């Protein structure tokens, strides 16, 4: 990329979106002066690993999807591929809670879609009638509205209500923490609609695609030292002093030539916070930013003496909304990943809080009580935890609800008119880490192109 006269760029937020923006901007224009302002005392936002007496605890995200563009490319650019860690293959098994008991998640899923309909009967999760209904999928006519459709309506139409509610809904909740009946198919899984429109059904679409090329990189990956490894590498790739920690930006002012923060002028600005925070900083587009709903969640990780806990083989379980529990998922972190707990200890992680209630309002004691009760009821764990780690994520996960793309387009329209401003974050085109990296890279490209 051609070098331009050195510029001074401010980036607000040192989560994965803001740090990716800074990284790609620095790669493209190494002589530009970048200032990344971060409110917290540590960088990374929702990517933060605690290393505590042999425990490796993820306070937020615990892995990312390697097949989504953006993530692996950054990992390779940072020369981190050798540190990637896949899930432990000897525990390759996931459960679904139904009627209070754990049932195997049927094998053969391609993303959310049961690609192997014959495998459905091998699990005790679904009733015979649900399996029979799912097997009709290839013959269910494609009856799609011209407008957007919710993932719940789409999947129920394809596979029936029981399979959707017990198998697909909890997997969706594990990603969005939200409500599938409000979730936009166009914003989350547009390829599924295309598949039905092109091939008449998801089953036929997957069959016509043939077997996927086996990638040497596992589908879900973390790093040996946890997700903070990625943040540390990004920090190390930026000139010393670029990221100013414990430095909240309360307001920004647009000037004739760019932007001003606390009296310092910048040629360009990237805001890489959540949409509500960006709305406070940028009042002229606050209405567009306020249109993105957010959900809150809490992560409670508990350690136990291994001798006091009997865990089935596996990575953990997901819990459908119809089970009516506050825990969306329980990950058996020390079985899912290598070296997450010291010898003789196990580490379990509960993902609490469903969209529509704010679990972060609960006290530590209340969150702990929910987690302990959950483990007693589902895994019969009666021992006291040896360690506990509680993290609240308030208004943390954007909900890509019906109409999301129209909201993004309205926002895009406004910021297209402002060449010195770019936005990055999970509320654009996906909440996953690779999506955030792509949004940061796109923001850097916009500012570089100006």
Give the shortest CB-300-to-ligand FAD separation in angstroms: 11
Interface region with ligand FAD, contact rule CB under 6 A, candidates 105-113, 199-207, 270-278, 318-326: 270-278
Interface region with ligand FAD, contact rule CB under 6 A, candidates 33-41, 261-269, 305-313, 400-408: 33-41
Give the shortest CB-430-to-ligand FAD separation in angstroms: 8
- Among 4, 8, 33, 40, the residue binding ligand FAD under the rule CB under 6 A is 40
- Among 274, 319, 399, 448, the residue binding ligand FAD under the rule CB under 6 A is 274
By the 8 A CB rule, do 315 and 335 touch?
A: yes
DSSP for 222-271, written as a single string: EETT-THHHHHHHHHHSPTT-EETT------EE-SSSEEETTEEESEEEE
Q: Which residues are registered as beta bridge partners of 35? A: 10
Angle at 61 between CA 44 and CA 385, to 5 degrees: 110
Nearer to ligand FAD, 291 or 431 (CB): 431
Cα distance between residue 55 and residue 345, in whole Å: 9
Nearer to ligand FAD, 34 or 130 (CB): 34
By the 8 A CB rule, do 408 and 442 touch?
A: no
Decide if residue 37 touches ligand FAD (CB under 6 A): yes
Residues in 43-72 at the binding interface with ligand FAD, rule: CB under 6 A: 45-47, 60-64
Place of tokens 């647009």: 254
Nearer to ligand FAD, 16 or 367 (CB): 16
- Among 9, 10, 14, 375, the residue binding ligand FAD under the rule CB under 6 A is 14
Decide if residue 157 touches ligand FAD (CB under 6 A): no
By the 8 A CB rule, do 158 and 335 touch?
A: no
Decide if residue 431 touches ligand FAD (CB under 6 A): yes
Instruction: Name the nearest CA neighbour of 12 among 4, 21, 3.
Output: 21
> Both tokens of residue 63?
């892995």
By the 8 A CB rule, do 168 and 318 touch?
A: no
Nearer to ligand FAD, 146 or 250 (CB): 250
What is the maximum alpha-carbon separation in the chain?
68
Interface region with ligand FAD, contact rule CB under 6 A, candidates 7-15, 251-259, 362-370, 409-417: 7-15
Interface region with ligand FAD, contact rule CB under 6 A, candidates 74-82, 123-131, 268-276, 409-417: 268-276
User: How large is the C-alpha radius of gyration of the chain?
Assistant: 23
- Any alpha helices (H) in 259-363, and if so which ranges? 275-281, 286-290, 333-336
- Among 9, 11, 12, 422, the residue binding ligand FAD under the rule CB under 6 A is 12
Cα distance between residue 271 and residue 29, in whole Å: 19
Residues in 279-308 at the binding interface with ligand FAD, rule: CB under 6 A: 297, 299
Nearer to ligand FAD, 7 or 46 (CB): 46
Decide if residue 319 touches ligand FAD (CB under 6 A): no
> Both tokens of residue 444?
């850097």
Interface region with ligand FAD, contact rule CB under 6 A, candidates 203-211, 267-275, 336-344, 375-383: 267-275
Decide if residue 273 touches ligand FAD (CB under 6 A): yes
- Among 34, 192, 249, 327, the residue binding ligand FAD under the rule CB under 6 A is 249
Give the shortest CB-326-to-ligand FAD separation in angstroms: 14
Report how many residues bind ligand FAD under the rule CB under 6 A.
Answer: 36
**Neighbour tally for 179: CB within 10 Å:** 20
β-strand pairing of 316-318 with 294-305: unpaired
- Among 350, 432, 438, 442, the residue binding ligand FAD under the rule CB under 6 A is 432
Q: What's the DSSP call for residue 424?
A: -
Interface region with ligand FAD, contact rule CB under 6 A, candidates 137-145, 159-167, 179-187, 423-431: 423-431
Decide if residue 245 touches ligand FAD (CB under 6 A): no
Instruction: Name the nearest CA neighbour of 425 among 68, 11, 10.
Output: 11
Cα distance between residue 316 and residue 191, in whole Å: 28
Residue ranges binding ligand FAD (CB under 6 A): 12-18, 37-40, 45-47, 60-64, 248-249, 272-274, 277, 297, 299, 393, 396-397, 425-426, 431-433, 436
């Amino acid at each position: 990329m051609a070098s331009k006269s050195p510029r001074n760029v401010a980036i607000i937020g040192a989560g994965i979106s803001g740090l990716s923006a800074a990284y790609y901007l620095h790669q493209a224009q190494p002589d530009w002066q970048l200032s990344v302002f971060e409110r917290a005392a540590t960088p990374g936002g929702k990517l933060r690993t605690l290393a505590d007496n042999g425990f490796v605890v993820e306070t937020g995200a615990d892995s990312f999807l390697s097949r989504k563009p953006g993530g692996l490319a950054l990992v390779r650019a940072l020369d981190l591929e050798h540190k990637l860690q896949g899930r432990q293959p000897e525990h390759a098994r996931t459960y679904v809670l139904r009627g209070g008991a754990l049932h195997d998640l049927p094998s053969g899923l391609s993303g959310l879609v049961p690609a192997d309909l014959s495998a459905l009967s091998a699990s005790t999760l679904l009733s015979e009638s649900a399996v029979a209904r799912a097997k009709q999928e290839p013959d269910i006519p494609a009856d799609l509205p011209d407008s957007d459709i919710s993932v719940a309506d789409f999947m129920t139409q394809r596979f029936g209500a029981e399979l959707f509610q017990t198998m697909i809904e909890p997997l969706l909740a594990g990603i969005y923490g939200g409500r599938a009946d409000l979730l936009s198919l166009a914003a989350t899984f547009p390829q599924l609609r295309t598949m039905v429109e092109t091939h008449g059904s998801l089953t036929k679409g997957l069959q016509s695609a043939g077997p996927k090329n086996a990638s040497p990189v596992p589908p879900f990956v973390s790093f040996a030292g946890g997700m903070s490894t990625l943040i540390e590498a990004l920090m190390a790739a930026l000139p010393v002093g670029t990221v100013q920690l414990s430095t909240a930006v309360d307001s920004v002012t647009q000037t004739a030539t760019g932007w001003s923060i606390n009296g310092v002028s910048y040629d360009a600005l990237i805001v890489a916070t959540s949409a509500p925070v960006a709305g406070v900083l940028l009042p002229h587009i606050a209405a567009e930013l306020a249109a993105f709903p957010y959900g809150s969640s809490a992560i409670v990780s508990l350690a136990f003496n291994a001798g006091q806990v009997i865990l089935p083989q596996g990575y953990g379980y997901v819990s459908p909304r119809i089970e009516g529990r506050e825990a969306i998922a329980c990950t058996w972190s020390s079985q899912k990943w290598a070296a997450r707990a010291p010898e003789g200890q196990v580490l379990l992680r509960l993902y609490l809080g469903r969209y529509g209630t704010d679990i972060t309002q609960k006290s530590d004691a209340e969150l702990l009580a929910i987690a302990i009760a959950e483990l007693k009821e589902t895994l019969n764990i009666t021992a006291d935890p040896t360690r506990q780690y509680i993290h609240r994520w308030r208004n943390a996960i954007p909900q890509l609800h019906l109409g999301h793309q129209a909201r993004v387009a309205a926002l895009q329209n406004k910021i297209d008119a402002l060449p010195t401003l770019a936005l990055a974050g999970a509320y654009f085109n996906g909440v996953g880490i690779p999506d955030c990296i792509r949004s940061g890279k796109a923001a850097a490209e916009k500012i570089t192109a100006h």
